[in-house]
Amino acid sequence: MDSEYLKIYSSGCNAPLMVKSGHFATNHSHINFYVDMVALKTRANEAREVAKSLAESFLYDTSVDTIVCLEGTEIIGAFLGEELTKADVMSMNANKTICIIVSEYINNQMIFRDNLQPLILNKNVLLLAASVTTGLSLNKGMEAIQYYGGNLQGIAAIFSLIREINDIEVVSVFGKEDLPDYASYDYRSCPYCQQGMKIDALVNAFGYSKL
């Protein structure tokens, strides 16, 4: 973790994505870049910029009642709800109240408590994630929304390597085109492991732990 961070910019967003090259392990794979989203998820100005960028894809043709936030994206989710409900734009959700809720996990299974379930049942739901590389975490979110009777209207993310999952578009601020050298490997076929290169850190959407 001694290499310098690189700043990656994407059109339509003034806040940069911070990335660091190396050999990292996630829950699902080994990757060659750590994508640091701490500033984008915790600093108000940066979170607002991300929300504005994402909102453009949902303003005019997507009805949203509830935003389900994964991986610590609730601050972005709140700004996104604000952008989608502004009264001075031609939005399907103008002057509307959008609920922002956070996912919960028990035994690696996403659940919604009884008091939150009415915010999902028969509601138009937008799923918001931090990073999408394999799509496994998104699948859990999609399954939970379906199980609790929600109508999934869209998927949004800060960074995504994939553009579609189960026929639903993944809208992201940053993608493969912004970081073309990004690679994800099954741990059994990781070229860095095969070369004897040690893992720099364990990483996920919340941060990293050095080894």
Neighbouring C-alpha atoms within 13 Å toward the C-beta of 66: 23
Give the model's pLDDT for residue 80: 97
pLDDT at position 46: 97
**Sign of the C-alpha dihedral computed for residues 171, 176, 178 and 184 taken in this order:** positive
Q: What is the CA radius of gyration of the chain?
A: 17
Q: Residue 33: what pLDDT?
A: 94
- The pLDDT of residue 69: 97
Q: Where are the domains of the chain?
A: 6-210
Distance CA 81, CA 52 (A): 10
Q: How many CB atoms neighbour CB 204 within 10 A?
A: 17
Are 182 and 59 in contact, with CB atoms under 8 Å apart? no
Cα separation, 31 vs 66, in Å, equals 32
The C-alpha atoms of residue 122 and residue 147 are separated, in whole angstroms, by 11
Please give the model's pTM, rounded to 2 decimal places: 0.91
Helices (H), 85-197: 136-147, 191-194
Query: What is the SS3 assignment for 101?
Result: strand
CA 25 to chain centre: 18
pLDDT the model gives residue 145:
96
Residue 3: per-residue pLDDT: 60
Q: What is the pLDDT along the chain (211 residues), one digit of tens a residue?
A: 456 889 999 988 999 999 999 999 988 889 999 999 999 999 999 999 999 999 999 999 999 999 999 999 999 999 999 999 987 767 788 888 999 999 888 888 899 999 999 999 999 999 999 998 878 788 999 999 999 999 999 999 999 999 999 899 999 999 999 999 999 898 899 999 999 999 999 998 788 899 8
- What residue type is 119 in one-letter code? L
Full DSSP string of 179-198: STT--EE-GGG-HHHHTTPP
Whether domain 6-210 has CATH 3.40.50.2020: the reply is yes
